[in-house]
Structure formats: structure tokens, C-alpha cells
Chain A
Amino acid sequence: MTIIKIEDLVFEYRRDDESPPVKAIGGVNIDIEEGSFTAVIGRNGSGKSTLAKNINALLLPSGGAVYVDGFRTSDEGALWEVRRRAGMVFQNPDNQIVSAIIEDDVAFGPENIGVESDEIRRRVTDALRSVDMYEERKKSPHMLSGGQKQRVAIAGVIAMRPKCIIFDEPTAMLDPGGRREVMDILLRLHRDGITIVLITHFMDEAVKADRIVIMDEGEVVLDGSPAEIFSRPDRIRALHLDVPLAVDLCDRLRRRGYDVPPGIVGIEEMVAYLCR
């Protein structure tokens, strides 16, 4: 079942009143299956973040339409239905935390939509447990590491019980340990059935998705499984991106004359090849 439907999406903006409109997204069509994990990659300025913000109605289409679980984002009455279903996690954890105590921060969203207090308590507990931050619940967010802050931000989204979560470069500002923590949580949420859209510049994160969409100059230029997408390294590099290390190493070994089978994108396939 399709949960997010992006139909001929066009998004234009103006720098100021006199300048002509700039087209950030020019006619994008993407259907995202419920429960899937899609990575969106593309160079700086390719329109990835603009696309993400169009999914939960932070930006509204200049043309075409975006539907979340059947609700059209540009339909004014549907705004909260859309946001309740599609949560968003941003790059900078410091910009997403509003309260002085962690559990209050997580309760902020459900309180705002009028959830009754017993239910809020249940949701906050569940959400903090699912990001492994329950023990820390009484602490102040400013005492946390970057990875922990990002996990609190994710808990705040989970407490809204969304069907999908859009992550806009959630690990870009984190240290390696923080990156591992956030990716582990993201994969766990995916296993629990939440639809994930991940925007990233890290190819080793993108390769963990079921599907990769590559944006360039506001359009979708490639769309497929990681194995399909990374089967032509030269094309990926021409788009200012890179291939995961496993793909690069296989490519190098082929050039040295080894008969490496196609489709190796990660560690599992590499082990299978080396041990056969």
C-alpha cells in the first residue's frame, strides 16, 4: 500500500520580490510503500531537503500534489492529519529540543494535540524506551551528547505515533558513536513497521535502505535497489556522489582481473563472495 504519494511535484521560490522564481523541484513522481525504507541522496542543492519538507507540509507544492496516507498536504484542513502521520527529524539536534527536562520535551507534541494525560505518560515511556533514553528521562537535554539529543528528538516524533518518519541528514553533525546510535534506532523503527525516508550524504547509510532515490537539479535521476543504483560507479560519481566501499573495492578487484560477481553492495555479500 502506498503511504506517501508525490505526484508531479513542482516547488518554486523567490529570493526576493524582484528576482525570478527558482525551480527547486521540477516535476517529481515518487510512490512510497508503507513500511519501506527509502534513502534519498543527491549533491548539495539537488532538492532533497526541499522534497522532504514537502512531505510533511512544512513547504507546500507550487504545482502537483503530495499525499500522506490519503491526506493532501495542500488541503488546509488536513495539515494536522498530515503532520501526525509524517514526523520529521532534522540535522541539528539543538534546534529541535524545546523543554528543560527530557520527558517534558517528548510530551510536548502529544500535549499539543490534546492527548489525555495517562495516554501521554504511556507514549512518553514507550518512546523513550524505544530510543534507549528512558533512564535519562529526568535529565536536562543540554547535558546530553549529540547522538543522545538526536535520540530525544526522535522520541518526540515517535510519541506522536507517526506512520512515517522523514530523517533529513540526522547524522551530519554527530561524531562516529552518535552516528551509530542514530542509525541503530532508525533501523529498529523500520523493523517495527514505520515507513522511513532518509536523506543523507553517507553512502554507507544509504546502502542499508530497500530503495534509493537519487535527486539531481530538482528531478529524480535514478530510482532502484542499492544493487541496481550502485552497479555503475562512474555514473554515481558524475552525480557528485560516491559508491559504498564494498562496491568500490569490487570494482577495483575486477580491474585487476578478478572475476567478482555483480550485486555486492555491503559486508554480507562480500563475506559470501570471499568465503565461497
Chain B
Amino acid sequence: MSIKVKDLVHVYGEKSPYETPALDKVSFEIADGEFIGLIGHTGSGKSTLVQHLNGLLKPKSGQVFIGDAEISAKGAKLTDIRRKIGLLFQYPEYQLFEETVYKDIAFGPANLGLSKDDTDDRVRESMSTVGLDFDTFAQRSPFELSGGQKRKAVIAGVIAMRPEVLILDEPTAGLDPKSQRDMLDMLLNIKESRRVTVILISHNMDDVVRIADRIIVLEKGRVALDGPPAEVFAHEEFLTSIGLGLPLAAEFMRELRIRGVDIEGGALTADEAEESLSRYLKAKENVR
């Protein structure tokens, strides 16, 4: 499902001494099925923005379209829209509440009024998408799961609603490296297997570079950069100056250059850094 945001303005505590502009004429369009990385330092407006996308907040001015529906309009019906948008907050494992993983994932579909069989299908399907084995985990208590598994169970519950837009806020924060890799594989899986539009909010530049088609950078409530990862991360100095950073590989190669190693720039991933280093070493051997 496509998303269109036009001249979106939001102000917290308007007409109070604490008045803070949070979003200042934000505009962008996201095509159906696109995978977006949304980055920006704490307080840059990311959370405020995504809360507008499912109508949790109303703009002061500007418009938000989800598909053809303008959800920022007065009297817009939000129930249908919210069903189509799966929103996953930070540290979502605290939202698990049922006795078993199965019941937790089935809660949403059952509330939609689906039959027992249809609900069962959806639970099985979404557990398989997130990589939780049904026979092993369905009847377990959520409290017996590891941190990464809990988070997957919550995502399964969101996917079971068959959203057309999935918004994830820091899904890998606090996970160990293996669980982070698993979570990313799962997101790649979702990206490849369904026509769902995904917005990934992350402080982890490596996650974003590995998975997003396009990156939107928010700074002081404005869109500061918007483009494919290679284009966005070419702005090394700017990103660092606004409290962000580069993917580890890009940072590493930059440090090498700063310390006098004459190596080409542009690598964003470990694969690309490996290629650059290999070319550098080969050229050096040939000189000898």
C-alpha cells in the first residue's frame, strides 16, 4: 500500500510555554512494497511522524494519505486504516500478555471475527514467516522465550492481521548479535515474500544499509536526506554532525583513510570492504 505525506506540520504543546515544533513541512511518497529505512537522532521527529501514519496523532496542517484514503481529513474513519497498518513500538516484548504464544498471536485475528480454522491458519502462517517453529513454540508461555524469540512472537501477532504497511521501531535494539542477524533475515523474508510496505526505524546503520531500498533522514522535524543507501551515506560529515553515523564498514574504511591508508571510498558493507581491501593489497603486491 502506498503512503503519501504532504507538508505535514506537527507542534507539541501549542500555545503553551513548552511549544515545540516536531514536524516542519515533511513531504515524501512511498510506493507500494517499498522498504524504507527511517533514521534520525533521538528527538528528530521519527516517532511523531509514524504516529501520524496510523492516525494516532492529528497534524496541525498538511495531509497524510494511506493508499487513496486521506487519514488526516476531519472525520476520517481510522478503524479500517489501523487494521491495514501494523505498528510495532520499541521493546514490544512488554506487550505480550497471553498464557501461550498461540493465544497471543491469535488475539488479533480472533477479534476480527475470523473462524477458528482461519485464525489457526493465520497463526501458523505468521509463525512460519517470523521463523518460530509451530510445534516447539505455539504452546509455550511467552515468558519462557528468549529476548529475540519474544520479539518475533510480537511481530507474528502483527503479521497475523495481514497488514499492508508494517512499521517497526528499533526491532533489533538490545538483542544479541545472533538474534539481530535472525531478525534481519526475518525482515528480508518479509520483504521478499509479501507485497507489504515496510518502514524500519533504526539507530543501527548496518541494519538499514543491509535491508532498505531507500533511506529517509529526519533532522529537526524536516526531511534532510532521502535516497538510496549509497547516496545517503555519501554524506559522511553531515550524518556524523547530526548525531548519526555510518555503517561499521564505511566508518572503518573512513578511519583507514584518515590514518593515511590510500584506499578507495564507497564501501558500505563488509562484503564491499573486503573487495576494496583485496584490490588495495593486490595493487600493493604488483608494485613490489
Stretch at the interface among B117-125, B127-135, B253-261: B253-261
Could you write out 7 A-B pairs with CB less than 8 Å apart?
A43-B179, A44-B179, A174-B203, A176-B244, A240-B179, A245-B270, A249-B277
Chain B positions within 8 Å of A201 at CB level: 174-177, 180
Q: Which of A179, A258, A275 contacts B278 (CB 8 A)?
A: A258
- The residue in B146, B242, B277, B278 that gathers the most chain A C-beta atoms within 10 A of its C-beta is B277
B202 (CB) vs chain A CBs: closest residue: A175
Q: Known: A15-B143, A237-B178, A241-B177. Contact between A175 and B270, CB under 8 A? A: no
Q: Name the A residues within 8 Å of B148 (CB-CB).
A: 44
Q: Does B42 contact A (CB under 8 A)?
A: yes
B113 at interface by CB-CB < 8 Å: no
Query: Min CB distance, A247 to chain B, in Å?
Result: 11
A267 in the interface, Cβ–Cβ < 8 Å? yes
A145→B243 contact, CB < 8 A:
yes
- Docked pose: A256 CA to B278 CA in angstroms: 8
Size bracket of the A interface: 35 or more
Would B179 and A175 count as touching, CB distance under 8 A? no
Per-residue interface assignment for chain A, residues 184 to 223, with 1 indicating a CB less than 8 Å from any chain B CB and 0 otherwise: 0000000000000000010110000000000000000000
Binary CB contact string for chain A from 245 to 256 against chain B (1 if under 8 A, 0 otherwise)? 110110011001
Whether B261 contacts A175 by the Cβ 8 Å rule is: no
Q: Is there contact, CB below 8 Å, between A145 and B146?
A: no
Interface hits, B169-191 → A, CB 8 Å: 173-181
Residues B176 and A175 in contact, CB atoms below 8 Å apart: no
Interface contact B176-A267, CB-CB below 8 Å: no
Least CB distance from B189 to A in Å reads 19
- A241-B178, A248-B270 are known contacts; what are 14 more A-B pairs with Cβ within 8 Å? A42-B176, A43-B179, A44-B179, A45-B146, A147-B42, A173-B174, A177-B243, A201-B174, A240-B178, A242-B178, A245-B252, A249-B270, A267-B255, A267-B256
Residues of chain A contacted by B21 (CB below 8 angstroms): none
Q: Is A176's CB under 8 angstroms from B175's CB?
A: no
Beta-carbon contact of A145 and B261 below 8 Å: no
B residues in contact with A113, CB < 8 Å: none
A258 and B178 alpha carbons, distance in the complex (Å) = 28
Task: Please measure, in the bound complex, the distance between the C-alpha atom of A199 and the C-alpha atom of B285, giving whole angstroms.
Answer: 41
- B42:A145 contact, CB within 8 angstroms: yes
B residues less than 8 Å from A256 (CB atoms): 274, 278
What 9 pairs between A and B have smallest CB-CB spacing?
A: A177-B243, A240-B178, A176-B245, A242-B177, A44-B147, A43-B176, A175-B41, A146-B42, A252-B274
CB distance B175 to A44 under 8 Å? yes
Number of A-B residue pairs at CB separation under 8 A: 114
Cβ of B230 < 8 Å from any Cβ of A? no
- B147–A271 CB distance below 8 A: no
- Cβ-defined partner of A44 (8 Å) among B176, B256, B273, B277: B176
Give which listed residue, B248, B261, B280, contacts A271 with CB less than 8 A: B261
Cross-chain contact B174 with A172 (CB below 8 angstroms): yes
Report the minimum CB–CB distance from B268 to chain A (whole Å): 12
Q: Does B281 contact A (CB under 8 A)?
A: yes
Q: Would A245 and B177 be within 8 Å (CB), given that A145-B43, A175-B243, A271-B259 are in contact?
A: no
Which residue of B has the minimal Cβ distance to A149? B42
Q: B244 near A177 (CB under 8 angstroms)? A: yes
Q: How far is B174's CA from A216's CA once the two chains are assembled, in angstroms?
A: 17
Q: Decide if A178 is an interface residue (CB 8 Å cutoff).
A: yes
Chain B neighbourhood of A203, CB < 8 A: 177
Scan B147-185; emit 1 where CB is below 8 A from any A CB, else 0: 110000000000000000000000001111111110000
What chain B residues lie within 8 Å of A180 (beta carbons)?
245
The CA of A78 and the CA of B176, in the complex, are separated in Å by: 35
Nearest Cβ distance between residue B164 and chain A, in whole angstroms? 29
A164-176: CB near B (< 8 Å → 1, else 0) gives 0000010011111
A1 within 8 A of B: no
**Cβ-defined contact, B244 with A175, below 8 A:** yes
B225 located at the interface, meaning its Cβ lies under 8 Å from any Cβ of chain A in the complex: no
Whether B174 pairs with A91 at a CB distance below 8 angstroms is: yes
The chain B residue with its CB closest to the CB of A48 is B176
Q: How distant is the Cα of A245 from the Cα of B40 in the complex, in angstroms? A: 24
A222 to B132 Cα, complex, angstroms: 29
- One digit per residue, 1 when the CB lies within 8 angstroms of any chain B CB and 0 when it does not, for chain A 135-175 equals 00000000001110000000000000000000001001111
| Complex contact B203–A267 (CB within 8 A) | no
**Could you tell me the distance between the alpha carbons of A246 and B274 in the complex, rounded to whole angstroms?**
10
- Contact pick for B281, options A46, A204, A253, CB 8 Å: A253
Complex Cα gap A252–B267 (Å) = 15
For B230-248 the 0/1 string (1 means CB < 8 A from A) is 0000000000101111001
